[in-house]
A and B are shown apart, each in its own frame.
Chain A
Amino acid sequence: MSISQRKKIYRRALDLFFLSQAKHIGSSLSCLDILIVTLAYIKRDEDIFILSKGHAAPALYVVLNSLEKISDRELMTFHRDGTRLPAHPPNYHFKDLIHFPTGSLGHGLSLCCGIAQAMKLSVTHQKKNPFVYCLMSDGECNEGQVWEAAQYASAKRLDNLVALIDRNGIQAFGRTKDVLGDAASKEKWQAFGFEVFECHGHNHVEMKNIFKKVRTSRQNKPKVIIFKTVKGHGVSFMENTIQWHYLTLSEEQYKQAVEDIRKNL
């Protein structure tokens, strides 16, 4: 993907947040590159991707739009009355792209365990060696269900399961280290029996290489890629701040954000 294409996706995300006055912009910009790389380059037709951090739905919609899976016209209905694109992923629409209605944090990894196990039990799936990808936030890893699922994945040796963690170090009302500690640490996931990979979360080349290592790994373990990301990535006044989990863009801020993306990305 060219720099201009990447900038275009970031710009579209900013447009969407400004026009809709939706929240969760910081969390969406934090994982936008993970979504671009996973969905545009890594995920094959037989693989499944679940956005467990459902509050980053706008980022998912924008990337699906860039892949021509969601039309421009549909995208512009985001967050409006009568839309098929609410602030968290829907359960009735885009069934081939959005498999479960996420948004209540902690559900995704369990769902992916079931999908990964089904892939292993099904002969037709086995031939294609499919993977299931689950994108979670580091704050989400506070949820007990994540660790129930982690134990399950490890015990059942679901080596076709790849957890992706957007580790920006900030959750809704504090820094992860100050709230419940770093639940996305390498040591914790290793202790739970995962093969752990770490990677810069905004460098596409590095990210693609990590995915390649993940896919070619011969370890009979579930995998996790811990992406070091920046909340509000690309926008100077948002980066690494807590408040941009919830704040919405004013016109002035929007213009500044667009300029930041143009210059910095």
Chain B
Amino acid sequence: MRAEFVKAIETLGLKDEKLIFLTGDLGFNAFENLVKKLGRRFINAGVAEQNMFGVAAGLAYMGFRPWVYSIAPFATLKTVEQVRNDICHLGLPVKIVGIGGGYGYGIMGSTHHVLEDISFYNTLPGIKVYVPAFSEDVGQAVKNMHRESQPGYLRLNIAKKQNLKLPAYGGVRKIFSGEGMTLVVLGPLIHNALDALKYFPEATADLWSVTEFPLKVPTSLIHSIKKTKKLLVVEECTNVNGLGERLEICLYKNRVCPRKLSHLYARGYPSRLYGSHQFHWHENKLDAEGIKTEIRKLLT
């Protein structure tokens, strides 16, 4: 998704002179062209994330539209107070980009993972969270974020190309229809869900992709869950205040109670061992195999 992100920022940066791009010393082999295109508006703020966020708040206060970029845990956990006090409390249009959300940085270890970003950004006032699912989503998500006057957080990961006709970008979208169950997936884990569904007959699941918070659940999704009575939620973050909890609250308010409900999420480090992104997915049953097993359980 990074290539699509850079392309989108380059396009916006040429159109909007108020766009400023700040990076926490990241971008080798990715931002070289952006540096040339933005000139003084490209700022390497060094390995000093808290300051970078304060600087971005100051720039936004003065009318600029800053984007701040770092590895997801450094763009989120390290700077949460700056985000709350300096950005959210004033509703400043600072756009935060975290690359490698969840276990995205794999073997780099737990310091480079972030499982809690969705959880706490969903508690901060007025910030909109974007978790694109497909690389095709990134351009539109970036465009929307830049246009919005509120703070925003963009969680980027790697997404493989799918040979799939995608519906237009939206915060909650149905990818395809099915009868046996409703499968709701946050962000790029949709690809693992798609791989898992290959083991089942066509139209096994009503498959939904969620890419934005605050979660706005369409009536059609409620109807889907009412109809199938079986719900599986999959997300690469903690189970607190993420997609699963938000959707459950929505169902409770709508007096919908699925007969079977399952939730796959990032449980941390169950074996206390480390490995690739794939390894951590497997450990947390978030890989195609784990999702397949859970689907089978729900269907029986």
Please list the residues of chain A having a beta carbon within 8 angstroms of any beta carbon in chain B: 91, 99-101, 104, 106-107, 109-119, 121-122, 125, 144-145, 148-149, 151-152, 155-156
Contact = CB atoms under 8 A, between A and B. Distances in A.
Contacts of A117: 43, 55, 58-59
Contact of A113 (B41, B58, B81): B58
Interface size class of B (residues with CB under 8 A): 20 to 34
Interface string B6-37: 00000000000000100000000000000000
Given A114-B60, A151-B48, 7 more contacts: A100-B61, A106-B50, A110-B53, A111-B61, A117-B58, A149-B51, A151-B51
Contacts of A156: 43
Contacts of B82: 107, 110
Contact of B50 (A100, A119, A145): A145
B46 interface: yes
B46 A121 contact: no
Nearest to A103: B85
Given A100-B57, A110-B54, A91 B63 contact: no
A148 B50 contact: yes
Interface of B: 20, 40-41, 43, 45-46, 48, 50-64, 66, 81-82, 85-86, 89-90
A118 B40 CA distance: 11
Nearest to B81: A104
Contacts of B59: 114-115, 117-118
B16 to A, nearest CB: 13
A161 to B, nearest CB: 10
B58 A107 contact: no
B62 A118 contact: yes
A148 B78 CA distance: 14
Contacts of A118: 58-59, 61-64
Nearest to A119: B62
A111 B62 CA distance: 11
Nearest to A50: B58
Contacts of B63: 118, 122
Nearest to B60: A114
From B20, B51, B63, name the one whose CB has the most chain A CB atoms within 10 angstroms: B51
Contacts of B61: 99-100, 111, 114-115, 118
Given A117-B55, A121-B40, A155 B62 contact: no
B236 to A, nearest CB: 30
Nearest to B45: A152
Contacts of A114: 54-62, 66
A111 B64 contact: no
A122 B41 CA distance: 11
A104 B294 CA distance: 46
Contacts of A121: 20, 40-41, 64
B58 A144 contact: no
A184 B45 CA distance: 24
A121 B57 CA distance: 15
A163 to B, nearest CB: 14
Contacts of A104: 81, 85
Given A100-B90, A114-B56, A145 B40 contact: no
B214 to A, nearest CB: 21
Given A91-B89, A100-B57, A110 B40 contact: no
Contacts of A100: 57, 61, 85-86, 90
Contacts of B46: 148, 151-152, 155
B51 to A, nearest CB: 4
Contacts of A122: 62-63
A109 B48 CA distance: 13
A146 to B, nearest CB: 9
A145 B51 contact: yes
A159 to B, nearest CB: 16
Nearest to A120: B40
B66 to A, nearest CB: 8
A45 B92 CA distance: 22
A114 B62 CA distance: 8
Given A100-B61, A119-B62, A113 B86 contact: no
Nearest to A99: B61
A113 B55 contact: yes
B85 A101 contact: yes
Contacts of B90: 91, 100-101
Contacts of B54: 107, 109-111, 113-114, 145, 149
